[in-house]
Amino acid sequence: MNAAVFARFQQLQRLRAAWAQWRESRAEGRGLPVRDSFDPSRRDRGITVLAGFDQALVAVTAAIVTLGLVMVYSASVALPDSPKFADYSQTYFLSRHAAFVAIAFVMALATLQIPIAFWEKHASKIFVIALVLLVVVLIPGVGKVVNKSRRWLPLGLLNFQPSELAKLAMVLYAASYMVRKMDVKERFFKAVWPMALATGFIGLLLLRQPDMGAFIVIATIAMGILFLGGVNARMFFLIAAIMLAVLGGILAFDELRRARILAYLDPWNPLYAQGKAYQLTHSLIAFGRGSILGQGLGSSVEKLHYLPEAHTDFLLAVIGEELGFIGVTSVILAFFFITRRVVAIGRQAIALDRVFAGLMTQGIAIWFGFQSFINMGVNLGLLPTKGLTLPLMSYGGSAMLMNFVALAIVLRVDIENRKLMRGGRA
């Protein structure tokens, strides 16, 4: 057992001792002032009542979603002036985005009623369903092609993107896998090869779409949960090295992605400025125009057909131009707060001996934190261009739906944690 794993083991032992001491004090009538998450008068109906939950997390999430609605409208209001969107009204994207948020909210309320035991029991089945959908979307005539990428299944109002479900499925499967394989986590190959195989298979399917950004996020989720689950640290870095080698090989043989890297390294080069670096250069111009206080809400120039698809991948650039450094900093701090709070809920679950719930919640934190970091890095020119949206803000139905479902699962973990802290059952 290496030093890092031993240190985590000692920390868990101390937390268990503290928990036992608290239960002792509770038996003597000295309980913690944690509100019950369930209303006893409604327990017989099996309905969860949000009497005790992380209200700050919900408030910041609501603020981010509301700002996203405003900025999606601002970024898309001028699109009907373009021949490509001539048949669209000025509120087309706003109304659809609002509908996506409403559907996602209803789904989140439904998800909140599902106990965490359900997700642990059916994690493998959900993972298989995600794999099947990733295969189905590649079938000609079934999957919808947009900008030479076959990533969507048309479902009427919503074009569902299976890669978004795959992110949640990987979180559930990796957490479940680590709980089931606790006894072999120090034996690297026996512990890791099934996860590596599953991640590699998903990677092959995503690269066929192609969707490199989603694959990077899913691989990071898998590696993060393996590390948090206690896989030997040296072996973890070996996995990271292998992943980097694979990505290097892809770049070496994929001319499109190699051109994106070169454009990222020298975006103002005339060879790239009107090609692969076009979005990046105009994103940087938007941030430059925004300065400290911004040009004012609705006053962006780059959204006027200079910055393509500004309401999706480059929404942060419009925020930077209209709300300035202060607006961008506020968004970054909000995502940092959300990620930090989700991690804290996961750590609390582990302290209560709910390992699956804790690893799953921390996996969701990795998903949100890493994807938002990549999107912001791309917008700011810190990372090569990737087709990843900003969680909870960018236009997109399936992403919004899965983001809300994931956060509802986190809230359910928090509710069950609080119930356990009162001595009840999750």
Return the structure tokens found at 116: 């965490």
Domain-wise residue ranges, the chain: 55-421
CA distance 379 to 385: 8
Q: To which residue do tokens 């356990």 refer? A: 420
Closest CA to 219 of 189, 250, 235, 198: 198
- Which pLDDT score, from 0 to 100, does residue 13 have? 61
Question: Please, where are the H alpha helices in 274-352?
Answer: 278-290, 315-351
What is the crossing angle of helices 55-76 and 315-351, to 10°? Answer: 160
Strand partners, 79: none
Output the furthest CA–CA distance in the chain (Å, rounded).
75
Distances (CA, A) of 11 to 16, 100, 214, 390: 9, 42, 34, 35
According to DSSP, residue 231 is labeled -
Distances (CA, A) of 316 to 10, 95, 376: 42, 20, 7
Residues 164-207 have pLDDT tens digits of 999 999 999 999 988 887 665 556 666 677 777 888 888 889 88
Determine the Cα angle at 233 with ends 368 and 247, to 5°: 60
Residues 52-61 have pLDDT tens digits of 778 999 999 9
CA distance 180 to 178: 5
Contact 319, 329 (CB under 8 A): no
pLDDT 10s digit of each residue in the chain, 426 long? Answer: 566 555 556 655 665 665 566 556 555 544 433 334 444 444 444 444 444 778 999 999 999 999 999 999 999 998 888 777 878 888 999 999 999 999 999 999 999 999 999 999 999 999 999 999 999 999 988 888 877 788 888 887 778 999 999 999 999 999 998 888 766 555 666 667 777 788 888 888 988 888 888 988 998 998 888 888 877 666 667 767 777 777 777 666 666 667 777 777 778 877 777 777 888 898 999 999 999 999 999 889 998 888 888 888 899 999 999 999 999 999 999 999 999 999 999 999 999 999 999 999 999 999 999 999 999 999 998 888 877 899 999 998 899 999 999 999 999 999 999 998 887 665
